[in-house]
Amino acid sequence: MAISPATAEDLARAVAMLYEQAELTLIDRLREALAAGIDSPRWADLKLAALGDLQAAITEVIAALETDASGAIHQAVSEAYDRGQQAAVAELGAVATGQAAAAAVALPSAPAVDRLAAALVSETGPVHLRILRATLDTYRTVIAEASAAPLLGAQTRRQAAARALASFAARGVTGFVDRRGRAWNMASYVEMATRSAVGRAAIEAHSDRLSAAGIELVMVSDAPEECPRCKPWEGKVLTRGGAGGARTIEVEHATEDGRMVKVRVAGSLPEARSAGLFHPNCRHDVRAFLPGMTRRPGPKEQRSRATYEQSQKQRYLERQVRAWKRKAAGALEEGERKRATAHVRAYQARIRELVAETGLPRKSHREQTGGAR
Ligand SMILES: [Zn+2]
**Ligand 1: distance of its center to the CA of 109 in Å?**
27
Do the bridges between strand 260-265 and strand 217-220 make them parallel or antiparallel, or are there none, so unpaired? unpaired
CA 262 to CA 240: how far, in whole Å?
17
Mean of per-residue pLDDT scores for the chain? 85
As a whole-number percent, the residues of the chain with pLDDT over 70 amount to 87
> What's residue 162's pLDDT?
92
pLDDT at 269: 93
Distance 12 CA to ligand 1 centre (A): 19
158-194 residue pLDDT tens: 888 999 999 999 888 887 877 778 778 898 899 989 9
CB atoms within 10 A of CB 255: 13
30/20 Cα distance (integer angstroms): 15
Task: Kindly tell me if the per-residue pLDDT of 86 is higher than 60.
Answer: yes
Burial of 69 (C-beta count, 10 Å sphere; 0-12/13-18/19+): buried
Contact present, 124 and 73 (Cβ < 8 Å)? yes
Tell me which residue of 305, 335, 326 sits closest to 165, measured CA to CA.
326
Contacts of 272 (CB under 8 A, 6+ apart): 220, 233, 236, 238, 266
CA of 277 to the centre of ligand 1 (A): 6
Query: 282 CA to middle of ligand 1, Å?
Result: 4
The pLDDT score that the predictor gives to residue 373 is: 36
CA of 16 to the centre of ligand 1 (A): 24
Q: Which residue has the higher pLDDT, 57 or 302?
A: 57
**One-character DSSP codes across 152-173:** G-HHHHHHHHHHHHHHHHHH-S
Element (H, E) at 261: strand 260-265
Pick from 311, 307, 326: nearest CA to 371? 326
CA of 318 to the centre of ligand 1 (A): 25
- Note the pLDDT of residue 54: 96
288 bridge partner residues: 218
| Ligand 1 centroid, distance to 5 Cα (angstroms) | 10
pLDDT tops 90 at residue 81: yes
Average of pLDDT values for 212-216? 88
Q: Which pLDDT does position 261 carry in this prediction?
A: 86
Sign of the dihedral through C-alpha 144, 150, 152, 158: positive
How far apart are the CA of 276 and the centre of ligand 1, in A?
8
pLDDT tens-digit map of 19-67: 999 999 999 999 999 999 988 889 999 999 999 999 999 999 999 999 9
pLDDT in tens, 305-362: 566 678 788 889 988 999 999 999 999 999 999 999 999 999 999 999 998 887 766 6
For the segment 133-148, the average pLDDT, to the nearest whole number, is 91
Q: How far is the CA of 71 from the centre of ligand 1 (A)?
A: 30
pLDDT of residue 306: 60
Contacts of 22 (CB under 8 A, 6+ apart): 61, 62, 64, 65, 131
The pLDDT, as a whole number, for residue 371 is: 38
**d(CA 67, ligand 1 centre) in Å:** 34
Angle at 186 between CA 182 and CA 191, to 5 degrees: 85
Residue 196 Cα, ligand 1 centroid: separation in angstroms?
13
Q: How far is the CA of 108 from the centre of ligand 1 (A)?
A: 30
Predicted confidence band of residue 92 (pLDDT cuts 50, 70, 90): confident
What's the 224 CA to ligand 1 centre distance in angstroms? 9
243 CA → ligand 1 middle, Å: 21
pLDDT in tens, 250-285: 887 777 777 888 889 999 999 999 998 988 778 789
- Three-class secondary structure of residue 297 per DSSP: coil
